[in-house]
Structure 1
Amino acid sequence: MEWVASHAFAIGSALLAAFFAAVGIVVRQRAIQAEAGHLEGAGAIVTSWVRQPSWWAGTLGAIGGYVFQALALAHGSLLLVQPLLVSSLLFVLPLGARFSHQHVRGRDWGWALLLTAALTVFVLVGQPREGHYRPPVPAWTVALIGSAPVVIVCVLAARRTIGRTRAMLLATAVAVLLGMIAVLTKVSTHRLAVHGWHGLLTVPAPYLLVALAVAVTVLQQSAFHAGALQASVPIMLVGEPVVAVLLGVVVLGEHLVVRGPGAVILVLAVAAMTAATIALGRDSASAATQSVGETAAVG
């Protein structure tokens, strides 16, 4: 329990980040899908986002989620914070039901309980440890070189497709970019703690963060607009922590403390987390799509 106590701030901040991220997901999904039902042409829909107060409210929620994510990463490793962000689905369920005036199904609560248990086991058994984070420039350089080609291929392929396939390709690009943002945030917070604001502003990491944030916003909204939320949401929510964890291990040298049978337990926990996240992502996306359809029909 000593390890848990020493990482309590990072865990609490990560859970708050998950909550605000869930608010952003639910509100922006409804705003974008509702607008898509009334407008023709992607250009008209994209320009309509900034005129919707609800979209801005969802964006503010997402920004709040990132602020708490940055606080969590300043006090904990990517291997600790990113899996905890998957718990946003636990908040998406009641929030989505509230907005759509529906009830959460028993099956969804079952998946939610499994996800909660798996996350708890992952944190307690794995006890993620910090990496070296030195030097920061090679870290973000390696992350960029390894991730950029995947994003480019997905975006170019998405331009030639429509519907579910387009949503999946854009969601994959979003997941990779969000994983990169997590790595750059970790590098930036470490740089700030060690070298101060001057040291942070003299490296490319914070400027790359701004550029990637803009790209993620556009691609994420485009994936939502594609209509197949059941295809895009699970990929984003599962892909982001997978990419961030892989980069954290390979690039930043983070690791888990696993001994004896703990390795088997950890594998089972990760498998349960993945299954629950995919199931909850599909169900929440399906509920959001149904809710928007009912709203459009009433209108």
Structure 2
Amino acid sequence: MLLTVILAVCAAACNALSSVLQRRAARTAPQSEAFKLSLLWDMMRRPVWLGGIGAMIGGFLFQASALNFGMLSLVQPLLIMELPFTMLIIWLMFGIKLNRQLWLAIISVTLGLALLLASASPGGGHQAPTAQDWVITAIVCGGIAAFLIGMAKIKSGSRRAALLGIASGLGFAVTAALMKESTRLFATEKAAVLTTWPVYAMVAAGIFSVFVLQTALQSGNLVVVQPTLNVTDPVTSIGLGVALFGESIRLGAWVVLELLGVGLIFYGSVKLAQSPHIRGQDLMAPKEE
């Protein structure tokens, strides 16, 4: 389990570094290149952007390795650490002062995650999902996502952003479940893994999730989107881990502590997302010595 935790935390750190580096590179690109292929060519010539892409690839590999060794219900919640890591990286790279409120937010997310995992105590996870399991998952998750997106179309502003944030969190959780299944198949069928459907379903679910997330961010504030994403992804992943891979969590009175952990994560996410530094401001230049 320790190896899984280390790999998942490394994935979160890589994702945070990728976000900071790519955001900094994008903010220095000419506005005239927006929505043009020339923007991608310009980004490819920037070492900062390439570093962000490298970090993103590293995050994917760390996450895949973590899911190969450990449980979905453990790995996905740990990826919440991306938001606190983002703030810490901004602090270290750009010398931006973190006030008391931001430190409390970082502590809130971290303690909430620790409380959620300690009280849920994920375990088990040795069964392989059947075709019927995946069909039921597709129907349930696809139906919920379709409902959320349908409702978002008739809403506007923060309500639309929140609905789409939940839908994207659901999509990322399904993507992670498919990634875990793909790594399981790779361990047993290395030569034939690219001919199996979970790999391509993972890519499709990932693209869908990113698209919905970008639409959510276009519709409303990060303060609305980030907390809904940070709660929906781990909670859904825990449910999918139990339903698909036979993972177990503690229920009964432990649910109270688990909900408290989710609440702390939500509160900390809101406070961190309110920071102008998380929103991408003040990332124009590194700190001066």
State if a TM-score over 0.5 links the two structures: yes
Among 126, 136, 139, the alignment partner of 1:145 is 139
Verify the 8 A CA contact 1:29 1:288 in the aligned structure 2: no
Give the number of aligned pairs. 280
1:243 corresponds in structure 2 to 236
Consecutive unaligned residues in structure 2, runs of 5 or more? 285-289
**3-state SS, counterpart of residue 287 of structure 1:** coil
User: Residues 229 and 119 of structure 1: is their aligned pair in 2 closer, same or farther, counting only changes over 3 Å?
Assistant: closer
Identity among equivalent pairs (%): 26
1:287 equivalent to 2:275? Answer yes
CA distance in 1, matches of 2:219, 2:36: 12
User: 2:60 is matched with which residue: 63, 66, 73?
Assistant: 66
The 8 Å contact of residues 90 and 277 in structure 2, kept in 1 or not, is answered as: no
Aligned residue in 1 for 2:159 = 165
Matched, 1:186 2:180: yes
- Give the CA deviation at 1:143: 1.9
Label 1:55 to 1:142 Cα distance change in 2 as closer, same or farther (>3 A). farther
Question: What's the RMSD between the two structures over aligned residues?
Answer: 3.4
SS in 2 for 1:152: helix
Q: Deviations over 1:58-88 (max 9, x none)?
A: 5554443222111111111112212222222
2:68–2:180 contact (8 Å) kept in structure 1: yes
Match of 2:287 in 1: none
Q: Deviations over 1:179-213 (max 9, x none)?
A: 101111121222222x2224533431111011122
Name the counterpart of 2:214: 221
Kindly provide the amino acid, as one letter, of the partner of residue 154 in structure 1: L
User: Which of 84, 102, 106 is 1:108 aligned to?
Assistant: 102
Does the C-alpha gap of structure 1 residues 95 and 48 become closer, same or farther in structure 2, counting only changes over 3 Å? farther
Q: What is the letter of the counterpart of residue 264 of structure 2?
A: A
State yes or no: 1:274 paired with 2:262: yes
Q: Is the 8 A contact 2:77 2:113 kept in 1?
A: yes
C-alpha displacement of 1:14 = 0.7
Distance 2:6 2:255 in 1: 24
What displacement does 1:233 show?
0.7
Residue of structure 2 in register with 1:95 after alignment: 89
Work out whether residues 28 and 58 of structure 1, in 8 Å CA contact, stay in contact via their aligned partners in 2: yes
TM-score, reference length from structure 2: 0.79
Q: Is the 8 A contact 1:140 1:183 kept in 2?
A: no
Deviation at 1:140, TM superposition (A): 2.8
Separation in 2, partners of 1:29, 1:98 = 16
State the alpha-carbon separation in 1 of the partners of residues 54 and 211 from structure 2.
15
Report the Cα offset of residue 47 of structure 1: 6.7
Amino acid at match of 1:274: V
State the distance in 1 between where 2:118 and 2:31 align.
48
CA distance in 2 between partners of 1:110 and 1:30 (Å) = 25
TM-score scaled to structure 1, two decimals? Answer: 0.77
Quote the Cα distance in structure 1 between the aligned partners of 2:177 and 2:151: 25
For the residues of structure 2 that align with 1:48 and 1:226, how far apart are their CA atoms?
A: 25
